[in-house]
Structure 1
Amino acid sequence: MMAMEQLFHAVPVHCLQHGCSKFGAANVALAILVTAALGILADYIWMLYLRSKMPPGPFPYPIIGNTFQLPNNKPWVYFEELSRKYNTPLITYWIGRNPTVWINDAWTASELLDKRAGIYCSRPRMLVFAELGSGQNNLVNMYTTTKAQRERFRIQRKLMHQGVGIQQVKKYRHFQNDESKVVAYHLLTKPENYVAHFERYATSVVSIIGFGRRVGNPKDPIITEVIAVMHRAADLNVPGKTFPMLMETFPALARVPTEYAPWKHGLGSKRKSHRGHDFFYSLAHEANEKPEHEDCYAKVLFKEQKKYDLGNKEISALAGNLFGAGSDTSSSTLITAVLAMRAFPETLIPAWKELDRVVGSDRSPSFDDDANLPYVHAFVKEVFRWRSVAIIGGQPHAPTQDDYYNGYLIPKSTWVQGNVWAIHHNEREFPEPDRFNPNRFLKDHPDARPFPGERGYMTFGWGRRVCSGQALAEQGTWLMIARLLWGFKFGPALDEQGKPKPVDIFDYTNGLNMRPQTFEVSIEPRSERVRQAIIREGEQALTDLAPYEGETKYRMSTFYTK
């Protein structure tokens, strides 16, 4: 015993203390690791429990789910393949710890998102697009889980309908028609710039609606800058395994200040987001101060500001949503239409015959001709179906309560996404889906198949979250395509050896609002009489549009760089 005491006292006290501290630190570290492991295990057990009740899908891993199984491009095609693999219209795919239910069938989409619209009217938590992006003041992103949220959503939707509702857009037909005539006029001299002509047309229409000012120059910053931002946002928000969308899997990374987090791609910067809102607010405020064009949408918003207690950010979001609802998407649809005309020339012949019979060569089609042009109407519908711009139906829906479909659980607040690509490429409704075939939409034609809803396509979404600009887009797209079909021949561009340059009908961008990659096409007037009519109408249209000429002192780039 004495020897042991001597040995004990022979050891320096600081060594004992150091050993104890090492032992204590090791215990703490071990406790933390064990606690974290148990937490991950418990969370994973909960994931697997939910998985057993939800629609089938790939087996998820702890924490990361199925995120790193996503393809690099066009995930909507991958989800279509999974739906076939599991032989079910619904699949569950885990982005990190959060399940997403993908709807790959028209009838299921109609049942859930249209017939149960009251349940599927909300949005899930969207870290990248909403919280770090356009914000919760935006109608597109709003939750509707509480009474107060539903009331605010109802107010904004009502105000949006005052701008682009079904009845309201009929008032815009005169300048929409004139801007369409200007496109045909410009195609006579610069057909190779057809993309720029379409972007100018679509942006000018919504600019007149929103701010009482037309856009006459294809290089106007309100086109180049705003559409560039829209393309960037669409590219960044594709479900994927790269940043910034990877923050949906690892949300803690979003807490790092933006200036120190290159993976956030500038999202979440209070300065940038604030100034981004200020840009559209400034455009609206500028338009409101001008005495002319009393019926422009900006004046409506300021008139209703006090009644509905609209904040500046809400005015900005409502004004900005006009561009999202009618500029980039509409121009992309028109580019797709030209691709279809170039790749499937046989579909033009019935259109030409119908237009020659109903319209003739001395004037272009008008809205009054719609009822007498069933094939042209079917042609436009096939454009919407063949390569839909909003390829996954816009932003995800979320049920406000737990729901069940065919025995499968869809938990409250789950991401529910309609896969428009899969819906519009289902062989059951659309045999040979990649073949452009307007006959699918002709009544009593053998190529027609049953489809839920009267339109025959689901391009604009569903239920209470359907695209606000649907009526405007359908109205303008019909008129523009009818005028293109009436006025022009679309053939192959020729290379230096005089050989036709091929086009690829699958070569599309990877963004949520997809459009064809650049392709060349020959665009020529169908006859001399048609060319003279285009010139006459184009010159008159520019005269009629003169009252809308004007400039704005604001540039989006200056708001983002100050």
Structure 2
Amino acid sequence: MATAVQITAGLAIAAFLSYLGLIFPSLRQKWRLHAHRASLPPGPRTPKTNLTKPWLWFHALHREFGDVVYLQSGAAPTIILGSAQAAWDLLEKRGAIYSSRPRFVVGGELLSGGLRGLMAPYGAYWRRWRRLLHAGFMARRSETYRPVQRAESAVLMGELLREPEGFRRHVERVQDVRTDEVVTRNNESVGRLVSVNIPGRFAAERYPALRYVPSVFAPWKAQVLRQRREDIKLYTELAGEVREKMARGVARDCFAKHVIQEQAALGMTDLEVAYTAGSPFSAGVETASTSAGSISSFFLACAKFGPQFVPHAQAELDRVVGPGRLPTFDDLPALPYVRAIASETLRWRPIAVLGGTPHASTADDVYKGMFIPKGSTIIAPLWSIHLNETDFPEPHEFRPERFTEDREYPGTSGHSAFGWGRRICPGMHLAQASVDLNIARILWAFDVGAAKDGEGRDIEVDIFAFSDGFNSSPLPFPCSITPRSPEHAAVVEREYQEALEELSAVPTS
């Protein structure tokens, strides 16, 4: 229990640090910005705050000011990138100075102790974390997860067959009969992180010295530290379970086992190992959320534009796969139009509308004559980039042909759904494979299109009705999902039952 003297001393120190933290860095930054004011990127005089869908405002700014927009909100400048080329030129080509993160006082420091690689600034710890994740989830390694992805997809098809009206619930479920408790606890952990990362929720993000205020006088801080203890308990328990199975020689090959084996060579503490080994759980929740949101957007596209592309895809599937089985990963290279539909889905309605976690610059830079200050927060909102009319004419139209025709676009995928450079999404191969396979199987098994009203007319859907938040997915809408034939339904039912048996037999870590 803190004494009155300790509390008074703590408050005095916090007040002094707050004064220094507020005054001197702010003055230095203001002087630097003033010196370069003539060459800063264009932007509005007064930033808007408390926006429920800031990406819509960013898109309007890009239409007014161009591909690089400057905002001044608080001490740190913010640069908003509105084209794929600008994002590629800075975040990819100049990744050496654009691969850090802004300071996350509450979520990164107080809640996570600087141990979440996703939010860690560019440095030795982040490089270790990134190297380990790449080893566990690079393209070839991600193929080892395909048996489970294939079985999960078959379960989804069976659920769509049995209850098509519940399609949103089916695509959003996290199906894993072996680790329900683990999934639930990790969902809670991710929820805690998301809850503290809401922009503007905590004054400490704008005035970092407030993190030193004693918890007894800062209920918000006490709550965050309680959440941190819950996260530490979760990740250390999970790592402990893997260590115990390794000691008994029964641990299957998995990412956590790899991290523990590399601990000594990398000089990592037990807590660093626990957080790093737990990263795929959090990333898996996020990847599942992205995949589910994208499949929901695909259904929305079918309900609005289905007659324009569904018959072409089904003709390709009938030619390549035939009527007797569901498509597999091995079929995808021979299904260019189906893969184009998946790419257009990721482009048309990006789930990570703000482009994921912001980047930060670690040095002054000049881009096309515009000065970008060191310490700038860099946001590349996918809503602006994927709806840029230069790259995607009539961007709100769903046109898979964009990805079957030759066109200029930086990178190799034709879209920017998974980010750029050294901060590109580690789970991109898993997410892309999930979206590709599920779209192929849905189109093979079902006729998908607009729902009908009582008089047989198409029910209109709103292609702009999406949720608020860091990730944005379609709000509820009607959609018609019916088996293409009794034979297709029989194949779905058979593979559904086989997948349930397969999943129940998969061993735990």
3-state secondary structure, aligned to 1:478: helix
What amino acid does structure 2 have at the position aligned with 1:465?
Answer: R
Distance apart, 1:90 and its partner CA: 0.8
Alignment counterpart, residue 518 of structure 1, candidates 464, 472, 476: 476
Give the deviation of 1:117 after TM superposition.
1.2
CA contact (8 A) 1:89 1:103 kept: yes
Is contact 1:71-1:78 (8 Å) kept?
Answer: no
Q: Which moved more, 1:394-403 or 1:126-135?
A: 126-135
Whether 1:476 aligns to 2:449 is no
Could you say if the C-alpha distance between residues 405 and 44 of structure 1 is closer, same or farther in structure 2, counting changes exceeding 3 Å?
A: closer
Q: Which has the higher contact order (CA 8 A, sep 6+)?
A: 2
Is 1:421 the counterpart of 2:383? The answer is: yes
| Structure 2 Cα separation of the partners of residues 39 and 107 of structure 1 | 32
Cα drift, residue 359 of structure 1: 0.9
The alignment of Structure 1 onto Structure 2 pairs a total of residues equal to 482
Displacement over 6 Å in runs of 4+? 36-43, 495-499
Q: How far has the Cα of 1:43 moved from its partner? A: 7.1
| Alpha-carbon spacing, 1:334–1:229, altered in 2? closer, same or farther (3 Å) | farther
User: Is the 8 Å Cα contact of residues 278 and 316 (structure 1) preserved in structure 2?
Assistant: no
1:337–1:314 Cα change, 3 Å:
farther
Residues 515, 312 of structure 1: alpha-carbon distance in 2 compared, 3 angstrom cutoff? farther
Hey, what's the Cα distance between the residues in 1 that align with 2:454 and 2:244? 54
Letter paired with 1:165 = M
* Cα deviation, residue 253, structure 1: 4.8
Correspondence 1:342 to 2:321:
no
**Following the alignment from structure 1 to structure 2, what is the Cα–Cα distance between the partners of residues 234 and 505?**
26
Query: What is the deviation of 1:257?
Result: 4.8
From 453, 458, 462, give the equivalent of 2:416: 458
Shift of residue 497, structure 1, vs aligned partner: 7.8
Structure 2 residue aligned with 1:388, among 350, 369, 373?
Answer: 350
Residue 160 (1) aligns with residue 122 (2): no
Relative to structure 1, the CA distance from residue 82 to residue 71 in structure 2 (aligned partners, 3 Å threshold; closer, same or farther) is farther
Distance 1:176 1:380 in 2: 16
Q: Deviation per CA, 1:190-215, whole angstroms, max 9, x where unpaired?
A: 33333333233xx45xxxxxxxxx43
- Residue in 1 that maps onto 2:44: 58
How far is 1:370 from its partner?
Answer: 1.3
Contact 1:55–1:91 under 8 Å retained in 2: yes
- Matched residues in 2 for 1:108 and 1:373: separation? 32
C-alpha separation in 2, matches of 1:513 and 1:320: 21
Task: State yes or no: 1:534 paired with 2:492.
Answer: yes
Among the aligned pairs, what percent are the same residue?
A: 37
* Contact 1:234–1:513 (8 Å) recurs in 2: no
Q: TM-score, normalised by structure 2?
A: 0.86
* Aligned amino acid, residue 110 of structure 1: W
What one-letter code is carried by the residue in structure 1 that aligns with 2:39? Answer: K
- Identify which of 157, 175, 178 aligns with 1:184: 157
Cα deviation 1:316-358 (Å, max 9, x = unaligned) = 3333332325222222222222222222212211111111111
Corresponding residue for residue 49 of structure 2: 70
Q: Is the 8 A contact 1:133 1:267 kept in 2?
A: no
Query: Distance between the aligned counterparts of 1:41 and 1:79, measured in 2?
Result: 28
CA contact (8 A) 2:360 2:377 kept: yes
Question: Cα deviations across residues 485-528 of structure 1 (Å, max 9, x unaligned)?
Answer: 11122234456787655432212221112222233333222111
Q: Distance in 1 between matches of 2:132 and 2:502?
A: 28
User: Could you tell me how far apart the structure 1 residues matched to 2:78 and 2:178 are?
Assistant: 43
Q: Which moved more, 1:373-382 or 1:73-82?
A: 73-82
Name 1:557's counterpart in structure 2.
none
- Do the aligned partners of 2:85 and 2:410 also contact (CA within 8 Å) in 1? yes
Q: What runs of 5+ residues in structure 1 fail to find an aligned partner?
A: 1-35, 61-65, 205-213, 553-562
- Equivalent pair of 1:101/1:414 in contact (CA under 8 Å): yes
The change in CA–CA distance for 1:372 and 1:43 in structure 2 (over 3 A counts) is closer
Q: 1:39 to 1:278 in 2, by over 3 A?
A: closer
Q: Distance in 1 between matches of 2:466 and 2:118?
A: 25
Structure 2: any 5+ residue segments left out of the alignment? 1-21
TM-score, normalised via structure 1 length? 0.78
Separation (CA, whole Å) in 2 of partners of 1:197 and 1:288: 34
Quick check: 1:56–1:91 contact (8 Å CA) kept in 2? yes
Q: Shift of the alpha carbon at 1:404?
A: 0.9
The aligned counterpart of 1:195 is 168
Distance in 1 of aligned mates of 2:336 and 2:454: 40
Q: Answer with 51-60 or 411-420: which moved more.
A: 51-60
